[in-house]
């Protein structure tokens, strides 16, 4: 079952994310997916995230579908031209993948193969329009397809983008092009998100608020310095830092820590409860902390 009926049902939608490994050992991804699958409505599988070469999203989506998860294929415009993008969409459909999140894709210079040729033959708006065209039974040149997919298409937006108007203009184009749901970049400020939701009240498709689990104060500071459009407020950094100190002290005494995990879970649950009245769901990005997601959902009462 694709995400579409869930999105249309009006329930509060929860999606999460797994990242394929660099290599062929899928043990961790399968384990995480088995754990999360029954608790969430969909699991995004990233597409060569951060431009660091790794196992593909399509194969991973197919494998987690086989164990009962509802995969959301992330597809970026960085690595494939229009022929390969369309062909891969058709391939994904025959492998049982029914949801696609269309993204621009991080630039190769941010990854581990900095000399890779950036493709960007299509942009994310084009990709949505092209995928919608495939759903309608034709390729982007208007040639008729023999058998067609029926993807539920998603897009992204950065609520902390500056200027926000510029982000919203692109979001409007994405919805016009065929996006049926929106997952946002990570947000750590309920007021900022409320302001964003106010400005996109004319957008009719479900918006799922993005949450990246904080692992440490250092990670939060790193995101503030390096991830455009993401700001972790000082107050949250302080809480993570205090938990980090407590973990360090516990470790010195030979005791089990767990304070950072506990505070991270607490923060995520607070954010979820803050976002819940404002939007149609949340999208969790645990970045390897998938095994802590059940605690987050429990703490948030989901």
Partner 1 sequence: MTISEPKSLEEILGTIEGQDKLFLVGCSDCATVVQVGGEDQLKEMAAKLAEHGKTVTGMLVAEPGCHLLGLRKEFRAHRQEIDAADAMLIMSCGTGAQTAAQATDKPVHAATNTLFLGCVERFGQFREYCSACGNCTLEQTGYICSVTRCSKGLQNGPCGGTTAEGKCEINPETDCGWLLIYNKLKEQGNLDALKSYAAPKEALVHPGQRTLSREGKEE
Could you say which of 112, 176, 195, 235 contacts partner 1 (CB under 8 A)? 176
Cα(89)–Cα(164) distance, rounded to whole angstroms? Answer: 31
Length of the chain equals 302
- How far CA 287 is from CA of 66, 100, 117, 129, 212, in Å, comes to 22, 20, 26, 29, 7
Contact partners, residue 70, CB within 8 Å, separation at least 6: 1, 2, 3, 37, 41, 42, 43, 98, 99
CB of 188 to partner 1, least distance (A): 15
Give the interface segment with partner 1, choosing from 53-61, 107-115, 256-264, 271-279 (CB under 8 A). Answer: 107-115
Cα(100)–Cα(102) distance, rounded to whole angstroms? Answer: 6
Does the footprint of partner 1 cover residue 177 (CB under 8 A)? yes
Does the footprint of partner 1 cover residue 221 (CB under 8 A)? no
SS3 252: helix
Query: Of 122, 69, 138, 79, whose CA–CA distance to 99 is shortest?
Result: 69
Does the footprint of partner 1 cover residue 110 (CB under 8 A)? yes
Quick one: residue 114, left, alpha or beta (phi over 0 = left, psi -120 to 50 = alpha)? Answer: alpha
Would you say 289 and 213 are in contact if contact means Cβ atoms under 8 Å apart? Answer: yes
Could you say which of 46, 124, 259, 260 contacts partner 1 (CB under 8 A)? 124
CB of 119 to partner 1, least distance (A): 9
Could you say which of 54, 80, 126, 239 contacts partner 1 (CB under 8 A)? 126
Could you say which of 133, 149, 154, 161 contacts partner 1 (CB under 8 A)? 161
Does the footprint of partner 1 cover residue 15 (CB under 8 A)? no
Could you say which of 28, 90, 121, 278 contacts partner 1 (CB under 8 A)? 121
Residues forming the site for partner 1 (CB under 8 A) = 77-78, 81-82, 104, 106-107, 109-110, 118, 120-126, 129, 140, 156-158, 161-163, 165-167, 169-170, 172-173, 176-177, 185, 226-229
């Amino acid at each position: 079952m694709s995400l579409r009926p869930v999105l249309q049902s009006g329930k509060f939608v929860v999606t999460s994310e797994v990242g394929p490994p660099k290599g062929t050992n899928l043990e961790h991804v399968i384990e995480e997916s088995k754990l999360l699958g029954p608790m969430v409505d969909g699991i995004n599988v990233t597409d060569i995230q951060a431009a660091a070469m790794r196992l593909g999203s399509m194969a991973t989506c197919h494998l987690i579908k086989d164990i009962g998860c509802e995969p959301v294929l992330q597809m970026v415009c960085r690595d494939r031209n229009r022929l390969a993008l369309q062909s891969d969409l058709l391939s994904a459909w025959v492998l049982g993948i029914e949801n696609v999140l269309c993204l621009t894709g991080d630039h190769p210079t941010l990854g581990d193969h900095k000399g890779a040729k950036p493709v960007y033959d299509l942009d994310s708006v084009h990709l949505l329009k092209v995928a919608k065209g495939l759903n309608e039974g034709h390729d982007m040149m208007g040639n008729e397809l023999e058998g067609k997919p029926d993807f539920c298409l998603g897009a992204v937006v950065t609520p902390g983008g500056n200027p926000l108007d510029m982000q919203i203009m692109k979001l409007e184009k994405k919805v016009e092009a065929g996006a049926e749901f929106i997952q946002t970049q990570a947000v750590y400020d309920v007021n900022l998100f409320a302001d964003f939701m106010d400005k996109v009240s004319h957008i009719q498709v479900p918006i799922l608020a993005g949450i990246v689990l904080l692992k440490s104060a250092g990670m939060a500071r790193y995101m503030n310095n390096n991830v455009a459009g993401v700001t972790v407020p000082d107050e949250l950094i302080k809480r993570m830092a205090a938990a980090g100190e407590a973990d360090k002290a516990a470790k010195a005494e030979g005791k089990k820590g767990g304070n950072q995990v506990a505070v991270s879970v607490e923060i995520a649950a607070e954010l979820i409860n803050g976002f819940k009245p404002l939007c149609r769901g949340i999208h969790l990005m645990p970045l390897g902390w998938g095994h802590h997601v059940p605690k987050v959902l429990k703490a948030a009462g989901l």
